[in-house]
Structure 1
Amino acid sequence: RVFTCGFRHKSSQGWDFTRRITRRKLILLEPRTGALRMATAQANEPPMSRPSTGRSSTMQAWETGLENPNVLDTEPIAVRGQSAGGHRQLDADGKDGDGDGKSGCGCLKSCKHGLQSIWRTRDTQDTKEDRELYIKTTLRELIIYCIFIIVLMIITFGMTSSTMYYYTKVLSDLFLDTKIENTTNNYRSVGNMGDWWSFVNGPLMNGLYWDTWYNSANFSDPREKNFIYYENKLLGVPRLRQLRVSNQSCNIASYFQGKISTCYAKYSYGVTDKSSFGLGNSTAWQYRSEEQLDGRSHNAEISSYDGGGFAVELSRDKATTQAILKELYSKLWVNRGTRAVFIDFTLYNANINLFCVIRLVTEFMATGGCLPTWDLRTVKLLRYVEPMDYFILACECVFMLFILYYIVEEALEIKKHKWRYFRCFWNCLDILVIVISTVCAAFNVYRTVAVGQKLTTLLQDENNFPDFDFLSYWQQQFNHGIAITVFFAWVKIFKYISFNKTMTQLSSTLGACAKDLMGFAIMFFIVFFAFAQLGYLIFGTQVKDFREFQQSVFTLFRIILGDFDFNSLQTANRVLGPIFFILYVFFVFFVLINMFLAIINDTYSQVKSDLSMQQNEFEMTDYFKQRASRMLSKLNLRRDKIVDIQKAIQSADLNNDKQLDFEEWRAELKQRGYADGEIEALFAKFDLDGDRVLNEEEQRQMHLELEGQRENLDQMINSKQAANEELEPDDEDEMEADGDALPAAATAASTRTSGGGGRGRGGGRKLVSPAEFQVLVKRVDRVEMSIGDIVQKIDSVLLKLELMERAKLRRREAMTRVLDALSGMEGAGSDEAERSRRAEELMRAELERWDVDTATAAASSGLGRGADSARGSRELRSASSTSRK
């Protein structure tokens, strides 16, 4: 592969050439003859007088080739084609650089490497050995994730505002809190069928139909009718729908079968009455399924109801609606078989671009009476109307790009770590955030299309009922999904700041006490659910908070937090109520909860103690101080270079003719260690007339520009030094002490790192902070204590080895004496009985002497030596028996 250096050079011999670098050779082009000469790159580079000139080894080899003509290949290479600049790129063999396809392969590798660098993370890179790479990767991940959080927050808070709350409150005051005429009741206090009909004919009708102004004047434009509060348009028409159960849906006790002929059970899907009743001549008296009504099931206070039923659409005209209601009232549309009545309608406010989908549900219980509930959903179904909405749209597009980015990132990590990837909690959290975000994005597209279709159908015929219940419900789920995503996204920040030990206290504490908490949780919930069942069975028929088992569980949790109603328990049962309350508070609140807190407190103390002895993976301030020091070093080098050139200008004019020709300039800068390329480029920049001589005006321009650059660098250096001083410790004495304690070798190494040559002023020494010093002191103390224990154990081992060696020598001497005596008796010709008796006497004497030595050793040196002596005595007795045999 061939690269052009970027500047042309005129040598003293009049050559006009372009530097071209190949892997092994340098090409010399001579346009006059159309020939190419090739200089071979030399392995041995010439010594450099300047530490750093920016020249590569290939550049220096090129200069070596110019100075030594013998290394030039004299064989010309033909040019097979020319580019726009009159040159054709050739490889080392004289072939076209694109001919063999290697250049394309290199480009693909470069593109692949560039793409991989985009998704570089701590999990895809080997950062254990390279600390600087670990820091850079962590900071890069944190910065990208912070941008992701900002975009997500803009999207989330762009979907909601306090206006939604006020919109909901205004409509709830109108339909829920307006008093029924001639009573003090409102919808919240409806208790029977008569109250419900009074609400429908009173507050509901007055709230839905606004036919005149507040002064009873008619609207000048008929299109202004049916604007609730003059601002909220009623979309389509309202709908009434009821669900019924059939007679004989329950069994009557045999004792009352002669007295009671009808029985209506509580609502369930199995006992739903789908037969026509009443007049049977309109949809109000005929059952329609959930598919026919395009409805959806609803979970209320008592039961869950499907989306079908007996439905009637009201009118946009108040008089017509009153006539419909009058007929329903007179024909007993609501009777004993009715179990739930739904009132559905939708409002839209163009001022704030918000929909409010309202559902008023009245459940008629099998016990008699009714229980009203309501659901007001204020949602923003038309997302893109105002300029701010389009900004949110742009943020959503950026958010999707982030999701694609993280999908690729997680895919690369899964490819590398396989199933081990899912063992990390943070990785599972990443997958969860990606899945929720993808589902929300898909619903966002679906919602935009579906709302457009519904509004198009509605505008064609306003007398239809627009069922926005489905869209509003899933819009709420969309909002909930985004809220959960934001929550998990904020929790995920701990993944990127875990390098700081303070930030890991929560996760470390929970991880350390997880097993203890799980064991304790079993014991806690056994007691807790026992009390929950006891409360439900005792007070469930009288106290609202214990009416269901799940309500009993929530009530007991509220008692733990101090929210309880003791009077209701005492009123329900004056004996068992106080006993239940006292026992629960004592065992659960005073005992179990405090045990729970004790486990966490003990673990937290241990974790905090361990973290105090642990050093951070890296200190953020130290990293930025090092970066600032490097920046100062580079700025100082640039400043010194400018000062060096200014001095060269003053001393280069050797003949004092106030004219600075190129040879004088080149000779002066060559002495200062500059390369020909730098000399040529700088001279050509100010040689405006191209005569290879700098006159007074050109020298003045050079001086002014260099002086301006030097002043700018001084300002930058001062600002960097001020910022660096803010990161340093406040205790100057400690800094000086730490600085004096640094060895000279470390100082020299720091100086070399800061830029070389001793000319950089910004490379400061790395000092030890007080916190690090305390940690090191504690570690040294622990090491000293451990060394003391180790020394004692080593002394004990050496003493035992010495005793074993002594015992071995004594055993050897005793055995030698016994064997010598036995050999002497055999030589004297003694009989067998005499030799046996003599051997036993020798053994007995040795044993007595050994026992005396054992007692003396035990008294003087302890049990260890006595044990060794006893061991030797046993071996001697064994030898005696062997000798006897």
Structure 2
Amino acid sequence: MFTSATVVYAGFPYFGQHGTYHAGGYNVPLGKTRASGLRLATFLQQRGWLDERTRAVIVELILYNPHANLFSMVTLVVEFTNLGAAYRGAEVVTLRLMQQEAILLLALRAVLAVFILFFIIKEAERLFSRPMEYLKDFWSWVELLVIVIGVATLGVYFNAQSIIDKAAEQRASSSSIFGLYKSAVNWFQVYTYLLALLICCGTLKFIRLLRFNSHVHALTMTIRKSSRPLLLFTIIAGIILMAFTQMGNLLFGIKLQEYKNMLTSLQSLCIMMLGSFDFDALVDGHWVLGPLMFFSYQVMMQFILLSMFMAILMDVYAEESQDPNTDDLQMIGFIRETTSGAVEKANRSLSTVGKNNSTKTVQTYRPDLDHRRKFATVLKELDEVSKI
């Protein structure tokens, strides 16, 4: 019986080697035993279930290991081309859908929700108070990205958890729950991807705290000032890379699997640039053009473009490392001097305890109003970063 993709509960497509297969199609349950599966396969074979219009046969099953409390979503695929060739594929996704410490994890996610709500209020105040300065700041966009990904992560997690709870209820009534578990596995995969992005963006925010270090500040300013020449360099490098991509696809597309289309050819060339390549396969593809393309690509990428890239960065870095007189670094010096003066004053005050017959006046450094305002601003920023 044909099932539309809109009817399927877990409507996630499968990305194969020769095509993308959306949810839906002619679905047949294989049963719960090996004997029932064999009888059904024999019946389908006798009725001619596979014909010349069939492009893929996908077998999906859920395995559960009670000892490790792990679910495995197994997908076995056979793809058929227009010429009748068959290509096999397999995918196994293992996840822990039922958590043993559910209360603790729920409490931690509640804490995450509170932090996200705090970030939303704080960023909204900053946005409405100084909108133009807020939108021009790079770290403001990082904060917004963290908020969006955090909200999406919580939404996907609770959606997947509700599907698991629904599957647990239907399992007690002996209903078909394969679609529910499949949907839960797919949503938990999406949750894992979003969580990885959230952790990455949250970790990048530590650079904002380390900006008071001279080396980190020089690196940050190097990236900022070299953005325009690097953009122009990236355009030229992209044109050269696409030229070699088309060459690889046209020369070896009919012989080598790694160059069968533009995407795989681009992936192979990027991996080759990192030092992983199969030179013998290129020689088998063409004994003259294969080595010629390999050496020309390596010379162009490794010796010319990579050297130009490093020259752009090192030129700007050398200029920035020689100019340490920035507001942030001067503020660190001011904080150090103020702290040292306060400690020295405290030591002198302790040394005069019990000496009632003499009075000693200690001159301390009193910063002007501008430095005191900068000092208060830096302390406020450090306090905000420490809360993160």
TM-score (norm 2): 0.84
User: In the aligned structure 1, how far is the partner of 2:165 from the partner of 2:199?
Assistant: 28
User: Does 2:81 align with 1:365?
Assistant: yes
**Greater length-normalized contact order (CA 8 Å, ≥ 6 residues apart):** 2
1:316–1:463 CA contact under 8 A, matched in 2: no
Counterpart position of 2:384: none
Question: Structure 1 750/457 Cα, relative in aligned 2: closer, same or farther at 3 Å?
Answer: same
2:167–2:177 CA contact under 8 A, matched in 1: no
User: In the aligned structure 2, how far is the partner of 1:287 from the partner of 1:397?
Assistant: 42
Question: Structure 1 465/433 Cα, relative in aligned 2: closer, same or farther at 3 Å?
Answer: closer
Aligned length in residues: 363
Match of 1:618 among 314, 326, 332: 332
Counterpart position of 1:70: none
Give unpaired runs (5+ residues) of structure 1.
Answer: 1-285, 648-670, 672-746, 754-885
1:500–1:616 CA contact under 8 A, matched in 2: no
Identity in percent: 25
Counterpart position of 2:147: 434
User: Does 2:179 align with 1:565?
Assistant: no
The DSSP-based 3-state class of the residue aligned with 1:498 is: helix
User: In the aligned structure 2, how far is the partner of 1:496 from the partner of 1:373?
Assistant: 47
Quote how far apart the aligned CAs of 1:395 are: 2.1
The DSSP-based 3-state class of the residue aligned with 1:302 is: coil
Alignment of 1:124-523 (within 5 A): 286-296=1-11, 297-383=13-99, 385-386=100-101, 389-462=102-175, 465-523=178-236
2:72–2:93 CA contact under 8 A, matched in 1: yes
User: In the aligned structure 2, how far is the partner of 1:578 from the partner of 1:536?
Assistant: 15
Counterpart position of 1:828: none
User: In the aligned structure 2, how far is the partner of 1:298 from the partner of 1:530?
Assistant: 31
User: In the aligned structure 1, how far is the partner of 2:217 from the partner of 2:341?
Assistant: 25
Question: Structure 1 343/467 Cα, relative in aligned 2: closer, same or farther at 3 Å?
Answer: farther
Q: Report Cα offsets for 1:126-182 as digits up to 9, x if no partner.
A: xxxxxxxxxxxxxxxxxxxxxxxxxxxxxxxxxxxxxxxxxxxxxxxxxxxxxxxxx
Alignment of 1:727-876 (within 5 A): 748-750=362-364
Alignment of 1:644-655 (within 5 A): none
User: In the aligned structure 2, how far is the partner of 1:625 from the partner of 1:449?
Assistant: 57
The DSSP-based 3-state class of the residue aligned with 2:190 is: helix
Report the structure number with the largest CA radius of gyration: 1
The DSSP-based 3-state class of the residue aligned with 1:367 is: coil
Question: Structure 1 287/391 Cα, relative in aligned 2: closer, same or farther at 3 Å?
Answer: closer
2:164–2:180 CA contact under 8 A, matched in 1: no
Q: Report Cα offsets for 1:527-561 as digits up to 9, x if no partner.
A: 22111111111111111211110111122222222
The DSSP-based 3-state class of the residue aligned with 1:597 is: helix
2:163–2:180 CA contact under 8 A, matched in 1: no
Q: Partner letter of residue 360 of structure 1?
A: L
Quote how far apart the aligned CAs of 1:599 are: 1.1
Quote how far apart the aligned CAs of 1:350 are: 3.3
2:245–2:262 CA contact under 8 A, matched in 1: yes
User: In the aligned structure 2, how far is the partner of 1:441 from the partner of 1:751?
Assistant: 51
Quote how far apart the aligned CAs of 1:612 are: 7.7
User: In the aligned structure 2, how far is the partner of 1:323 from the partner of 1:457?
Assistant: 27
2:55–2:81 CA contact under 8 A, matched in 1: yes
The DSSP-based 3-state class of the residue aligned with 2:78 is: strand
User: In the aligned structure 2, how far is the partner of 1:599 from the partner of 1:587?
Assistant: 17
Question: Structure 1 606/390 Cα, relative in aligned 2: closer, same or farther at 3 Å?
Answer: same
Question: Structure 1 347/621 Cα, relative in aligned 2: closer, same or farther at 3 Å?
Answer: farther
Quote how far apart the aligned CAs of 1:489 are: 0.9
2:9–2:179 CA contact under 8 A, matched in 1: no
Give unpaired runs (5+ residues) of structure 2.
Answer: 368-388
Question: Structure 1 624/613 Cα, relative in aligned 2: closer, same or farther at 3 Å?
Answer: closer
Alignment of 1:701-716 (within 5 A): none
Counterpart position of 1:865: none
User: In the aligned structure 2, how far is the partner of 1:752 from the partner of 1:527?
Assistant: 60
The DSSP-based 3-state class of the residue aligned with 1:356 is: strand
Alignment of 1:645-684 (within 5 A): none
User: In the aligned structure 2, how far is the partner of 1:597 from the partner of 1:338?
Assistant: 52
Q: Partner letter of residue 510 of structure 1?
A: I
Q: Partner letter of residue 291 of structure 1?
A: T
User: In the aligned structure 1, how far is the partner of 2:365 from the partner of 2:134?
Assistant: 43
Quote how far apart the aligned CAs of 1:624 are: 5.3
TM-score (norm 1): 0.38
Q: Partner letter of residue 300 of structure 1?
A: G
The DSSP-based 3-state class of the residue aligned with 2:48 is: coil
Counterpart position of 1:583: 296
User: In the aligned structure 2, how far is the partner of 1:627 from the partner of 1:439?
Assistant: 47
Structure holding more helix per residue: 2
Question: Structure 1 499/324 Cα, relative in aligned 2: closer, same or farther at 3 Å?
Answer: same
Quote how far apart the aligned CAs of 1:290 are: 2.2
1:348–1:355 CA contact under 8 A, matched in 2: yes
The DSSP-based 3-state class of the residue aligned with 1:395 is: helix
Question: Structure 1 484/293 Cα, relative in aligned 2: closer, same or farther at 3 Å?
Answer: closer
Q: Partner letter of residue 45 of structure 2?
A: Y
2:76–2:89 CA contact under 8 A, matched in 1: yes
Q: Partner letter of residue 750 of structure 1?
A: T
Q: Report Cα offsets for 1:354-391 as digits up to 9, x if no partner.
A: 322222122122232321222222223234x33xx433
1:345–1:359 CA contact under 8 A, matched in 2: yes
User: In the aligned structure 2, how far is the partner of 1:752 from the partner of 1:581?
Assistant: 67
Quote how far apart the aligned CAs of 1:438 are: 0.9
Q: Partner letter of residue 41 of structure 2?
A: L
Quote how far apart the aligned CAs of 1:313 are: 0.9
Q: Partner letter of residue 529 of structure 1?
A: M
User: Does 2:338 align with 1:607?
Assistant: no
Q: Partner letter of residue 32 of structure 2?
A: R
Q: Partner letter of residue 310 of structure 1?
A: Y
Q: Partner letter of residue 44 of structure 2?
A: L
Counterpart position of 1:252: none
Q: Partner letter of residue 326 of structure 1?
A: T
Question: Structure 1 630/748 Cα, relative in aligned 2: closer, same or farther at 3 Å?
Answer: closer
Counterpart position of 2:381: none
Q: Partner letter of residue 358 of structure 1?
A: V
Q: CA RMSD in A?
A: 2.9
Quote how far apart the aligned CAs of 1:335 are: 3.6
Quote how far apart the aligned CAs of 1:336 are: 3.0
Quote how far apart the aligned CAs of 1:323 are: 1.9
1:569–1:577 CA contact under 8 A, matched in 2: yes
The DSSP-based 3-state class of the residue aligned with 2:240 is: helix
Question: Structure 1 462/316 Cα, relative in aligned 2: closer, same or farther at 3 Å?
Answer: farther
Q: Report Cα offsets for 1:485-504 as digits up to 9, x if no partner.
A: 11111111111221222221
User: Does 2:209 align with 1:595?
Assistant: no
Quote how far apart the aligned CAs of 1:441 are: 1.2
1:458–1:466 CA contact under 8 A, matched in 2: no
User: In the aligned structure 1, how far is the partner of 2:340 from the partner of 2:308?
Assistant: 46
Question: Structure 1 432/751 Cα, relative in aligned 2: closer, same or farther at 3 Å?
Answer: closer
Quote how far apart the aligned CAs of 1:295 are: 4.3
Q: Partner letter of residue 289 of structure 1?
A: S
Counterpart position of 2:376: none
Q: Report Cα offsets for 1:466-491 as digits up to 9, x if no partner.
A: 44222212211111111111111111
Quote how far apart the aligned CAs of 1:431 are: 0.5
